[in-house]
Amino acid sequence: MKICIVGLGLIGGSYAMGLSLKGYEVYGIDQNQEAIKYAKKQNYIKDGYVDDFHILSECDCIILAIYPQAILDFLKQHSHLFQENQVLTDVCGVKSSFVRKATLLAGKAIYLSHHPMAGKEKIGIEYADSSIFKGANFLITPIDSLNAYAEEILKRIAQDLEFGRITTISIERHDQMIGFTSQLTHAIAVSLVNSDHDEDTVKFIGDSYRDLTRIAMINDVLWSELFLENKDYLLEHISSFEAELDILKNALKQDDKATLKKIFNRSTQIRRKMEK
């Protein structure tokens, strides 16, 4: 299969790496000549382009590994290059805000969005590593009806990158759930780290603090966009979280050991079901 990856960052680079290892013919597009040079040197791509995008017409699948707003700009500029039976997809962490628009801009090509639930607290193709996808959740997010051919292409890619569970759901349901599992999680980690007002904290941390706050090292450009594009769901989830924290706080204030135990038993049960 001939693939073009637009945006050779951490995720685009990891796709290029994993897919070329599986024998795909992979091409890359990036504004940054250095990223292309690196990708070629590592054999992640067969060739790469900074300003000549004729390659877009020749690929079976185009993976847009850039930010939501950049996707819309890119599609506007290059829609004349897309072909019938080409599958266009993206890897964005929010969907509702742009996928309908992207689908229109894709013209005769088939647009089918997806979300690889994997990453690293790093930026740039130098950190590319296709093993981050191993066993991870892969979400396919159609609007209205699902094109079977495009779904087949995405599933093949997911399997070749060794993703785990593949789930097909609407973009609205995607954003609702990701607002909880991803954005709320990041909001909490960031707020926890920012409430640290002590110089000596590092002497008092264990793995629990380390694990919980790793994602507080966060790409500010990407995540401010993701948060704002999904703000309604995110604000809702923050409220439910605060309600739970209030229950715990009240139990503490009232020295209510029985309720604390109930709270801990409940979280243990819910979380244990999620162990791999």
Residues 105-124 that bind a copy of itself (CB under 8 A): 117-119
Quick check: 171 binds a copy of itself (CB under 8 A)? no
Nearer to a copy of itself, 101 or 173 (CB): 173
Compute the residue count for the chain: 276
Query: Minimum CB separation from a copy of itself for residue 180, in Å?
Result: 7
What is the size of the binding site for a copy of itself (CB under 8 A)?
Answer: 87
Tell me which long-range contacts 213-221 makes (C-beta under 8 A, separation of at least 24): 213/189, 214/121, 214/189, 215/121, 215/185, 215/186, 215/189, 215/190, 216/186, 216/189, 216/190, 216/192, 217/121, 218/121, 218/186, 218/190, 219/123, 221/67
Window contacting a copy of itself (CB under 8 A); options: 27-35, 37-45, 78-86, 249-257: 249-257
Query: Minimum CB separation from a copy of itself for residue 157, in Å?
Result: 18
Q: Where are the beta strands (DSSP E) in 207-253?
A: none
Quick check: 53 binds a copy of itself (CB under 8 A)? no
Closest by CA to 180, choosing from 263, 248, 94, 245, is 94
Query: Minimum CB separation from a copy of itself for residue 196, in Å?
Result: 6
At residue 238, what is the residue type? I
Query: Minimum CB separation from a copy of itself for residue 237, in Å?
Result: 7
Quick check: 180 binds a copy of itself (CB under 8 A)? yes
Window contacting a copy of itself (CB under 8 A); options: 38-46, 60-68, 71-79, 254-262: 254-262
Window contacting a copy of itself (CB under 8 A); options: 36-44, 48-56, 153-161, 189-197: 189-197
Given candidates 32, 83, 147, 219, which one binds a copy of itself under the rule CB under 8 A? 219
Whole-angstrom CA distances from 256 to 17, 240, 262, 266 are 54, 21, 10, 16
Nearer to a copy of itself, 114 or 174 (CB): 174
Residues 57-96 that bind a copy of itself (CB under 8 A): none
Q: How far is Cα 92 from Cα 102, in angstroms, rounded to an integer?
A: 12
Q: How far is Cα 71 from Cα 223, in angstroms, rounded to an integer?
A: 16
Q: What DSSP state is assigned to residue 197?
A: -
Contacts of 250 (CB under 8 A, 6+ apart): 256
- The token pair that represents 111 in the structure block: 């647009």
Window contacting a copy of itself (CB under 8 A); options: 27-35, 63-71, 136-144, 155-163: 136-144
Query: Minimum CB separation from a copy of itself for residue 9, in Å?
Result: 17
Q: What DSSP state is assigned to residue 135?
A: T
Quick check: 221 binds a copy of itself (CB under 8 A)? yes
Quick check: 146 binds a copy of itself (CB under 8 A)? no
Contacts of 267 (CB under 8 A, 6+ apart): none
Quick check: 126 binds a copy of itself (CB under 8 A)? no
Nearer to a copy of itself, 146 or 235 (CB): 235
